Amino acid sequence: MKILMVNKFLYPKGGAETYFLKIGSYLEMAGHQVEYFGMYDEKNTVSNSANEYTTNMDFHVTGIKKIIYPIHIIYSLEAKRKIRNVILKFKPDIVHLNNINFQLTPSIIEEIKEHKIPIIQTVHDYQMICPNHLLFDFQTKKTCELCINGRFAPAIL
């Protein structure tokens, strides 16, 4: 099976990336073909045959980049175009998404679906259901589950 692994970072930056890279390694040991898509970085330890990666986004910059980042974290034409090139070259049977928020954006999901490729996603935190990613109310200092039923509570940091 040809598996495209997708994560914003393609090197062991933290726990989510370590998990992602280990899963890819285990899949390769089981005989699958695995390629990777994410941001370009000199520290990348994995790659893809199309040699396509998105521009590295560092949210700690200043100037014009800081002004345009809010647009790029919602929808990335660059990520959509580049994952298309990877898909056309590699022709994966399935795509495994990990951390795609902000840098890669859901635009890549739209592109993957256009090619009718099944998608699975591993979610490493509560970001998809909780605005503060923690299911925690900082005012009461208690676990908060108000967002679980679709009623978004104020996320006070």
Number of independent structural domains in the chain: 2
| Cβ contact 52:82 at 8 Å | yes
**C-alpha distance from residue 157 to each of 133, 138, 141 (Å):** 10, 6, 11
120 and 136 fall within a common domain: no
- Do 10 and 83 sit in the same domain of this protein? yes
- CA dist., res. 6 & res. 94, Å (int): 11
Q: In terms of domains, do 67 and 114 share one?
A: yes
- Token pair recorded at residue 50: 């199309």
Rounded distance between C-alpha atoms, residue 139 and residue 150, angstroms? 21
| CATH at residue 59 | 3.40.50.2000
Question: Is residue 14 very low, low, confident or very high in pLDDT (cuts 50, 70, 90)?
Answer: very high
Q: What is the pTM of this model?
A: 0.84
113 and 138 housed in the same domain:
no
Within 10 A of 88 (CB to CB), how many other CB atoms are there? 11
Residue-range definition of the domain harbouring residue 156:
126-157
d(CA 60, CA 51): 26
Query: Is the same domain home to 148 and 97?
Result: no
pLDDT digits (tens, 9 = 90+) for 41-93: 999 999 999 999 998 876 566 666 666 666 666 789 999 999 999 999 999 99
Question: Do 40 and 62 share a domain, yes or no?
Answer: yes
> pLDDT tens digits for 109-123?
999 999 999 999 998
Continuous segment of H or E residues that includes residue 18? helix 15-29
Q: How confident is the model at residue 147 (pLDDT cuts 50, 70, 90)?
A: confident
Residue 106 to residue 121: CA distance in whole angstroms? 12
Domain identity same for 79 and 135: no
Q: Which residue has the higher pLDDT, 135 or 25?
A: 25
CA distance 81 to 29: 30
- Alpha-carbon distance of 128 to 150, in angstroms, equals 11
Judging by DSSP bridges, how do beta strands 94-97 and 2-6 pair with one another? parallel
